[in-house]
Structures are given as C-alpha cells and as structure tokens.
Amino acid sequence: MTPGLFLRALFDRAVAVADPMRSLADHLPPKPQGRVVVIGAGKASARMAEAVEAAWGPCEGLVITRYGYGRVCRGIEIVEAAHPVPDQAGADATARMLEMVSGLGPDDFVLALISGGASALLVAPVPGVSLAEKQALNAGLLASGAPIDQMNTVRKHLSRVKGGQLAAAAYPARMLCLMISDVPGDDPAFIGSGPTVGDASTPADARAILDRWHVPVPASIAAALRGPSGVVPPGDARLAHVTNHIYAAPAQSLAAAAVMAREAGCDVRILGDALEGEARDVAQAQAALAMQVQAGMMAGDAPVLLLSGGELTVTRRGDGVGGPNAEFALALAIALDGAKGIHAIACDTDGVDGAAEVAGAVIGPDTLLRGADAVAALARNDAHSYFAEAGDQVITGPTLTNVNDFRAVLIYPPD
C-alpha cells in the first residue's frame, strides 16, 4: 500500500468508528412508556435518527441536517437545510421544532440528537434581528479566524434556541441529549452551541468577541447584544430534567486509527485531539516536528505517525476556495519543501472542509511539483483549487458523522 493510500485508510477508519449506526444504540435506554419525541440537528443527526429507529422502531419527531446528509426514517421527519451559513429552510424547521416540544408534560420524554453543524441548522434569531443579518454575521465569524467556542458564544446570545433554550422550551418533559462532539475539549455547551446545555456567558462577552475579531455587525445586532439574553444559566430549574451525554468524540477516532497504524508497524504518537489555532501556523509547527523526528531516526527504524485532531481556523485573506484542513495540508507541504519520506493527510470527518464538498487533501514529497504556485495559492486561501489541480483532494461525499479534523503525518527514516 502506498503512503497516500495508507493514510486514507487511517482516515476512513476514524470516520467509520464514529458512524452512529455502529455506536449510538449502546447509549440508548429502553424506549420510555408514553409519548416520545425525537428532535435533533447537525450533520450527523439524520444518521443518528436512523440509528434510533433501528433500535426503537418508528418514532415521532423532527431532525434538521445539512443538504445531502438526509436519511430515510420511518417516523422521524428529516429536514435538510444550509450549512455553514443558515437559510430559510433551517429557520422554518426550527420554528416547527420549538412548537413541537412546547406544551409537553412531565410524563413526556424528549430524545435530542445533537452533532456538529447544529449551530447553523438551528436558526431562530432574537426579535429585531433578521435571518439575512444572522447569515451575514455567520459569514463574518467564519472569515474572522475566531475559534469555534467564541463563535458559538456570539450565536447563543442572538438565538431563541441555543444556550439551553431548546431544553427550556421542552420543560417540564424529561430529556436525554445524545451528542457527537466536534469541539476541542468536548465541552457540551459548545457542541452545536449547546441547545440543551446552560451557559454562564453574557451579551457583554459576545460583544467583546466581536470586537476582538473585528467582525462588523449592523445596528440591530448591536442593539440585541445590549439588551437581556434568553440564554439559560447553569442550574436553572428548566434544565433539571435534562441529561446530556457525549457518546462519540474525536479521541475515540484517533485511538482507532492509532490501533490500525500500530498493527501496520508504525510508532504512533498522538499530539492531541483538541488542537486549535490558525491552520497555517499549526502546519509550520508540525512540519518542524516531523523533520526533527526524521533527523533522529536511523535507517531501518519503524515509520513514525503523528496523529492529531481538533478544530483549526482560517483567517480569510483572499478570495480563493479553501478550508482549514486543505490550508493545513498546503502550508505543511510548503514548510516541508519536498522533504523525502514525509507524507500527510488532513481531512474533516464530516466530509466537508470549509464550505466545499471536499474532505481535505493528502500530500507527499512531490506535492509542490504537481500544482501551480503553492505559495500564491496559500496567500489567497485557495488550497482546494491547488489540490484539485494536483489530484490530491480527498472527496468522500456525506460521511453522516462529525468528530472534527483528522490529521496524520507519516514519517519514514532517511534513506
């Protein structure tokens, strides 16, 4: 197997382990008696709903997922909407979901299915803020380079559903929320902007984030962030009947890839499952580490594999087509400058890097020889175009799960 195919196999293994059809049923209780309502949002939510019905049979409910990520369910309605910038389909479905859970009683049971992507798919702007203004804000946050937890803090205080408000709407019904984590640190408050989790942040915190990352906002959003927030604080009585449980996370996928690599004879070193930072900066650091590791190897040593996960960011500088994984891969190739014996893959486990229908890319010693000017492509954030020309894109289609970024750097000893 070539290095590129081996790295792709490791990525495929990481994705497969996070497939809800393989693991969700183990975390379901017996189906409760009485009325059961299934709700959810995220890129993996339709697959999660499919897994629920495989275990419980047809259920009443509504789940919102990304366009192209729908599944056929027998009872649960699946609505597809836009991600990463929300659209009217998501707003309409969110309004119906809030109506569905309102008026439930203490004998009713709500199963919530939340995965990465729910922040954009659950759309219910606060009064005075239009959908178009929320769309512009999302686009501005995505281009700013702000980390995901800070983006989600802003989103919560401009929403009627995030920051525990979905759970509050369902009170006094009992609720179990099963989550797939796509955030560094696996904090449930930031998975999908925590629609079932209390949050202690304030509108002042949101204003400070917008100022720090130089995100312009219209007067309506500025006014909304000067007023009271609907975000539900931790300990609020309306959250007393809610249990939140993360059942799949990046660490599990990295561990599965590590087992596969060790079985193939690699010396595996996991750098962490919660790496954050500017994609090109992290790439430079990992390139330096890879060359340092190779310099300390002897001929005949086992290959070394550096594994990492997390969520990197991109500050938009140009008008190209890219995403954090492709940008990482391109910056890594530039920093390695054709170093022999070093190969890598960087992909998003949901199959979508940025807004492109591309998971990421693979690189090797000849990457810079197969595309146009790599430095210029990086400068204009055009990594996807570069790898399309080089033939090094990883295209998976909808993976139906999301445990965030997967990066692997494979280092062979010097000849």
In a domain, 366, yes or no: yes
Look at the chain and count its residues: 415
Give me the percent of the chain exceeding a pLDDT of 90. Answer: 96
Residues 240 and 373 in one domain: no
In a domain, 18, yes or no: no
Output the pLDDT for position 371. 86
Output the pLDDT for position 1. 85
Residue 173 structure tokens: 């019904």
Residue 148 structure tokens: 């995901």
The structure's pTM equals 0.93
| Least confident window among 59-73, 131-145, 193-207 | 131-145
Query: What's the pLDDT band for 356 if we cut at 50, 70, 90?
Result: confident
3-state DSSP: the chain helix, strand, coil percent, rounded to 5?
A: 40, 20, 40
Q: Cα dihedral angle (365, 367, 369, 373), rounded to 10 degrees?
A: -130
State yes or no: pLDDT of 415 exceeds 80.
Answer: no
In a domain, 160, yes or no: yes
Question: Residue range 66-70: average pLDDT?
Answer: 96
Domain CATH for 180: 3.40.50.10180
Q: Is the separation of the CB atoms in 303 and 266 below 8 Å? A: yes
Residues 369 and 403 in one domain: yes
In a domain, 358, yes or no: yes
Query: What's the pLDDT band for 117 if we cut at 50, 70, 90?
Result: very high
Question: Residue range 98-106: average pLDDT?
Answer: 96
Residues 159 and 223 in one domain: yes
Which is it for strands 405-411 and 304-313: parallel, antiparallel or unpaired? antiparallel
Query: What's the pLDDT band for 344 if we cut at 50, 70, 90?
Result: very high
In a domain, 107, yes or no: yes
Output the pLDDT for position 234. 96
In a domain, 54, yes or no: yes
Q: Give CA–CA dist 1/368, Å, rounded.
A: 22
Residues 223 and 365 in one domain: no
Q: Give CA–CA dist 93/61, Å, rounded.
A: 11
Query: What's the pLDDT band for 372 if we cut at 50, 70, 90?
Result: confident
Q: Which domain holds residue 310?
A: 3-11+251-411
Residues 176 and 325 in one domain: no
Residues 264 and 210 in one domain: no
Query: What's the pLDDT band for 340 if we cut at 50, 70, 90?
Result: very high
Residues 91 and 211 in one domain: yes
* Count of domains observed in the chain: 2
Question: Residue range 378-386: average pLDDT?
Answer: 97
Domain CATH for 356: 3.40.1480.10
Q: Give CA–CA dist 329/344, Å, rounded.
A: 7
Pick from 248, 264, 290: which residue ends a domain?
A: 248
Output the pLDDT for position 46. 98
Q: Is the separation of the CB atoms in 11 and 84 below 8 Å? A: no
Output the pLDDT for position 395. 98
In a domain, 378, yes or no: yes
Could you tell me which residues come within 8 angstroms of residue 25 by beta carbon, excluding any fewer than 6 positions away?
51, 54, 55
Residues 244 and 173 in one domain: yes
> Residue 366: what residue type?
D
Query: What's the pLDDT band for 119 if we cut at 50, 70, 90?
Result: very high
Residues 214 and 159 in one domain: yes
Residues 273 and 216 in one domain: no
Q: Give CA–CA dist 208/206, Å, rounded.
A: 5
Instruction: Tally Cβ neighbours within 10 Å of residue 314.
Output: 23
Angle (nearest 5°) at CA 352 between 71 and 77: 20
Q: Give CA–CA dist 302/296, Å, rounded.
A: 12
Residues 151 and 167 in one domain: yes
Give me the percent of the chain exceeding a pLDDT of 70. Answer: 100
Angle (nearest 5°) at CA 14 between 162 and 148: 30
State yes or no: pLDDT of 408 exceeds 90.
Answer: yes
Residues 97 and 203 in one domain: yes
C-alpha dist (Å) from residue 220 to 123, 131, 347: 17, 12, 37
